Amino acid sequence: METHVRQATPADADLLESAFSPAPPRSWLLAAPAGTREWAAFEDGEVRAWCAAPSRTVWMDGREVRFTELTDVVAREGGGELAHGDAWRQAAAATLGAEEDLVQYAFPTECSWEAGERFDGFDIVRTQHVLVQPATAPAERPPEVEIVSAFDHTFRWLWERCAGAFGASVIRDDALLRWRFSRASGRDYRVLATRDGNGVPRGYAVYSPAPWWTPGGAVLVDWLVPPEEVEVGKLLLRALRAEAQADGRSSLATTLVEWSPWFESFQRSGYAVHPSPLFLVARSAARRFDHLWLRDHWWVTLADTTLV
């Protein structure tokens, strides 16, 4: 059978929606504010594999650029490794360039990284450590912490307060946050935030009861708190533990970049560092911003992935 890979078009929508069971979160991925590209592999006119690449708008080096996440391939039973690999490689090859995808990245497992020639040209940015805390110590949500029901422009002001410490970071504005946390079908996110006297967020944390790391655990998906706001961080950590306890979860897990002051602060608050089978890999269209630069300057959390 001959495999044919091409970029999907609106005319393929019904075919793609009916090809897989369960269906992938296609409509959500395609709604990414910075745009999404998708590819499909066909054999004898039937869809065998599908891959999406949602982009993020990133502030880096004083300007807005595009980083694009290459998600894992959804393969139909019987699609075969050829269709699976070709769909991913075509997605990766299509748009890398300074004026398109300045950086492409993915989170393969150790096994898929070692076995996958599809990762030709990608370098390991980091082996991903996971911070884990038991959710057994008693905790109540502090009254200063609220659950956010909607996002507005003031959340970008919070990101701007933090962005000066980042070499590169996805812009956390209301459009991105609504797409990522309010419109993701089938995913349970709770955004915990504290505000100043004018109603502007001083920090936020995004919690999910999803058992991402351990079967009985919960996960911290995003964390955005200025490093100097130590007390805000403590309030949010208490609130996160209270949410996990209320949900009957045994632990909280997350990832943070090691160069952030919060990586050490979380450990002082009872989080232990664990190895994981995840890698963050990337390739850049600009030699200056290679994997080593990204390792030391790119603020990235689980919110910048589609893993959870």
Mean pLDDT of all residues belonging to the chain: 90
Write down the pLDDT at residue 102.
Answer: 95
Rounded to two decimals, what is the model's pTM?
A: 0.93
pLDDT at 264 over 70: yes
Mean pLDDT of 84-88: 72
Match 């349970």 to its residue by tokens.
188
Helix/strand/coil percentages in the chain, nearest 5:
30, 30, 35
* Residue ranges of domains in the chain: 3-126, 130-275
CATH architecture of residue range(s) 3-126: 3-Layer(aba) Sandwich (3.40)
Cα 212 to Cα 280: distance, rounded to the nearest angstrom? 17
**Residue 13 confidence (pLDDT):** 87
Mean pLDDT on 252-264:
97
Q: pLDDT tens for residues 121-174? A: 899 999 989 999 999 878 899 999 999 999 999 999 999 999 999 999 999 999
For the four alpha carbons of 158, 303, 264 and 164, in that order, the dihedral sign comes to: negative
At residue 10's C-alpha, the angle toward residues 74 and 86, to 5°, is 35
| Residue 260 binned pLDDT confidence (cut-offs 50, 70, 90) | very high
- Whether 101 and 66 have beta carbons less than 8 Å apart is answered as yes
Q: Give CA 98 to chain center in angstroms.
A: 22
Domains 3-126 and 130-275 share a fold: yes
Angle 304-204-299 from CA coordinates, rounded to 5°? 35
Residue 222 CB contacts under 8 Å (≥ 6 apart), including other chains: 180, 181, 204, 205, 206, 301, 302, 303
Contacts of 155 (CB under 8 A, 6+ apart): 172, 173, 174, 177, 201, 204
* Model confidence at 289: pLDDT above 90: yes
Q: Which CATH superfamily is domain 130-275 in?
A: Gcn5-related N-acetyltransferase (GNAT) (3.40.630.30)
